[in-house]
């Protein structure tokens, strides 16, 4: 093993890089992409400088891996922009603070309101059908309401 490490060829690095890139295709989420490219980069350097010591090859591999991952992470952070539809995947959040008549009376702490074409399950104090309630919170698909003034 020691003898093998001391005589690493560029093919070895390219093979490791290719293997990592193939594994990335199977869903590693981008983590192996940068390590695979770092291995390919060390392979190119080993091709250009065949007498590169094995310790330096591993040092460069580690350095390139960290460098490419950090650069990608920084680029992703600066490229992120706020959504033009912040409530897109937070269904019901647009109802907070609005008032609705009760569609079904709140009995035992549960009732329903109709918002648009959707019936929502609500929790709050017992109130009769038709009472106006204000949405004050949300727990998943359950809206918390209070009697509107």
Domains of the chain: 2-78 (no CATH), 95-147 (2.40.50.140)
Whole-angstrom Cα distance, residue 124 to residue 104?
12
3-state secondary structure at position 52: coil
Higher pLDDT, 137 or 89: 137
**Residue 67: predicted pLDDT:** 94
**Residue 72: predicted pLDDT:** 86
Higher pLDDT, 47 or 82: 47
Q: How confident is the model over 56-82, as pLDDT tens digits?
A: 999 999 999 999 989 888 888 887 777
Band (pLDDT 50/70/90 cuts) for residue 19 is very high
pTM above 0.75, yes or no: no
**Residue 77: predicted pLDDT:** 83
Share of the chain above pLDDT 70, in %: 92
pLDDT (average), residues 16-24: 90
Cβ neighbours of residue 8 under 8 Å, at least 6 residues apart? 46, 54, 57
């Amino acid at each position: 093993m020691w003898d093998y490490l001391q005589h690493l060829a560029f093919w070895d690095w390219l093979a490791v890089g290719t293997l990592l890139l193939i594994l990335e295709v199977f869903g590693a989420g981008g983590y192996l992409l940068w390590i695979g490219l770092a291995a390919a980069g060390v392979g190119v350097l080993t091709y250009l400088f065949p007498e590169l010591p094995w310790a330096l090859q591993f040092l460069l591999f580690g350095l390139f891996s960290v460098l490419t991952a950090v650069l990608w992470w920084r680029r992703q952070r600066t490229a992120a922009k706020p959504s033009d539809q912040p409530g897109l995947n937070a269904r019901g959040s647009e109802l907070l603070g609005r008032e609705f008549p009760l569609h079904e009376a709140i009995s035992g702490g549960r009732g329903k309101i109709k918002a648009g074409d959707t019936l929502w399950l609500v929790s709050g104090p017992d109130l009769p059908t038709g009472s106006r309630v204000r949405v004050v919170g949300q727990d998943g698909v359950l809206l918390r309401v209070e009697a509107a003034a």
